[in-house]
Structure 1
Amino acid sequence: MPREYPRKLRLNVQIQRELTSLIRHELTDPRIVGITVTTVDVAPDMRQANVTVSLLGPDDQLKAAVKALNHAAGKLRHGLGVNLRLRFVPQLHFKPDVALREGDRIAQIIRKAVTEDRAHIPAQPESDDKPE
């Protein structure tokens, strides 16, 4: 039976917490204001980590924030090494999290289709004949 909390999952959560704190308190780049670390996925050898981030705002603002975070990855990695005391601190690769944006886009398409369908259906008159 596999262990309930393997090391990789614990490390993912721990790195996510530390990165959130480091980004909020250590970085001063205005492009990363309001960024949220959504997931961290550490490779099985613990040498690489993919970090997805999201941001409320336009897509170009999210791309700029990801570029700024990738530029500051060395400083963040150093901060992780100081705070986590790991043998190998993983290389950080930041990527935009577009799942929320895609979900909103699909929901908007569905809402539009429903309203268009309702506009094409003729209004049905309500009858006064109610069964007693």
Structure 2
Amino acid sequence: MAKEYARTQRVADYLQRELALLIQHQVRDPRVGMVSITGVDVSRDLGHAKVYYTALDSNSSEDASESTEVLNKASGFLRSQLSKDSNMRTVPNLRFYFDGSVGRGRSLEDLIQRATDADRELGLHNDDESKS
């Protein structure tokens, strides 16, 4: 069973690398924008792949709904390009999902920074603690 996991992981890693390049160089639709592929989950039978992405100008799935729609419509084209460039017998069906974790991370980072700034203004932050 470990070998099967390793194979699905290798396929997922390959798809992540190749899709990032293909979207950057081959997808011409301006509605997609600047997209980064953050992860790929491939089913055990290698028939389906969930592709997670972030977009530079989107912090929520609602903001990225148009990009998601365009990417899902382009999935057939992307599969055909992948099949030309790979030695895989079959290329999984691709389904794109917006990855909101990056946006949530940014907002949490902003909250922490504001709390730290507020503590400094009130004189509650000790500079000796920040050095250790």
Pick the TM interval, shorter chain.
0.7 to 0.9
Calculate the TM-score normalised by the size of structure 2: 0.79
Shift of 1:57: 1.3
Counterpart amino acid of residue 51 in structure 1: V
Matches of 2:42 and 2:33, distance apart in 1: 25
- Cα deviation, 1:73-107, whole Å, max 9, x if unaligned, reads 11111211222232221111101111111111011
**Pairing 1:9–2:9 present:** yes
Structure 2 residue runs of 5 or longer lacking an equivalent are: 125-132
Task: State the identity as a percent.
Answer: 32
Alignment check: 8 A CA contact 1:31 1:61 kept: no
RMSD between aligned residues: 2.2
Matches of 2:95 and 2:10, distance apart in 1: 19
SS of the residue corresponding to residue 51 of structure 2 reads strand
SS of the residue corresponding to residue 32 of structure 1 reads coil
Alpha carbons of structure 1 residues 20 and 58: separation in structure 2 relative to 1, 3 Å? closer
Match of 2:68 in 1: 66
Structure 1 residue runs of 5 or longer lacking an equivalent are: 123-132
Matches of 1:24 and 1:115, distance apart in 2: 38
SS of the residue corresponding to residue 18 of structure 1 reads helix
- Cα deviation, 1:32-57, whole Å, max 9, x if unaligned, reads 23211111111111011011111211
Matches of 1:43 and 1:97, distance apart in 2: 18
